[in-house]
Structure 1
């Protein structure tokens, strides 16, 4: 497993926010509204540094050339039915344990202090929600969440690359908004890949095929235009 390279170009806070908000939209369940936003997403993505614009642009190409029904099927098969690709960050740190419930409450309280209130059924640790919070809510606290769950982010990226999923490009862009993976996080990724997340003795395979959260709890695409985008 090789670490991600450091950012190669100077990146402004506004560019990081734009990349994260675009990634947030692309990690939501694909629908007609997302497809109508393609011209806007291309316009705000093109001026970004190459390590951000490149992978995001590749996924936008995929959106443009793939039928919506195929996109939706692939999304469910990738993120709902494959635990290694789950977008719920606290799962990697806490698995299906009671500690995960406390972590979800901490996310929710953090968002509430910043004035972000989730829609009914949205779980606060979904990567699309965390990225939107980081881009448009409280950057410093959002950055802290991304750093705290760096190992989970890296495991998602590696799992998507292993599946040759087009969403791997989006995770590559997210990783490029962060410093390179630290040695401790690389060790945690290796441990997670081998052992899976923590479990309580409930007879569950942590990386089984069944989703750890039912589909009705999957967030819909996050609302709002990318940072810096025209309204």
Structure 2
């Protein structure tokens, strides 16, 4: 297992007391990861320290405000690819099938494209497949890092580290286009309720789904979606 990817999956998960208790081991794994530069390992330290020592309820409130109340910071990757289009359901089905082919059965209520779930899956996959998949998402990682850095959030370092592990350079044009999209205000709950109203994603049979590799389903990530009119509110 790729322990670093497993640790990144945990770092991007909803904070719990159990996660706090595991932070010494997680921090040790990250600090010893030779695929990351020394500077990158140092940049990850503030997040490790924050999760380790901050009040759990403050951590949870911060996490929800960042990732659950902001569509532009969503950890569901297909949100940044397909938005509300019908293609999203088919992509979900294909991703589930890919997990099953790999013998991976995530024990979670999260959607299959949830980044911590994908990282846990990738932690069991060959290095080449891991790098290809991360590279396909490189510009999304760059955008999420930039948005988190604007908010002075230590979570941004995880996305910078994923970029480094991918060995890829994010497409500047795609990054700039995505960063032009207005960001959600997590304090405007009425607007957020409207933004998150969308068609239900279902996982029924899809004759066109097939069982491609994860990287094939993420290949369209270099084409940012055009947000629905109400998504910019």
Length-normalised TM-score, structure 1: 0.72
Q: Where does residue 199 of structure 1 map in the other structure? A: none
Partner of 2:9: 24
Q: 1:61 aligns with which of 49, 56, 65?
A: 49
- The residue aligned with 1:108 is 96
Which runs of structure 1 show a deviation greater than 6 angstroms over 4 or more consecutive aligned residues? none
> Are residues 1:189 and 2:195 paired?
no
For the 8 Å contact 2:131–2:165, the answer to whether it is kept is no
Aligned match of 1:177 in 146, 165, 171?
A: 165
The reply on whether 1:37 has 2:22 as its aligned counterpart is: yes
45-54 or 31-40, larger mean C-alpha shift: 45-54
Alpha-carbon separation, structure 2, partners of 1:42 and 1:120: 24
CA contact (8 A) 2:142 2:160 kept: no
Match of 1:98 among 86, 100, 117: 86
CA apart distance, 1:121: 2.4
Please give the residue correspondences for 1:35-184 in structure 2 after superposition, counting only pairs within 5 Å. 35-49=20-34, 50-119=38-107, 121-182=109-170
| Structure 1 residue matching 2:174: 3-state secondary structure | helix
How many correspondences in the alignment? Answer: 187
RCO higher in 1 or 2 (8 Å CA, sep ≥ 6)? 1
1:57-104 Cα shifts (integer Å, max 9, x gaps): 221111123110000000000000111111111111111111111111
SS in 2 for 1:93: coil
Offset at residue 138 of structure 1 (A): 4.9
What CA distance in whole angstroms lies between the structure 2 residues aligned with 1:147 and 1:167?
Answer: 19
Gaps of 5+ in 2: 183-190, 202-233
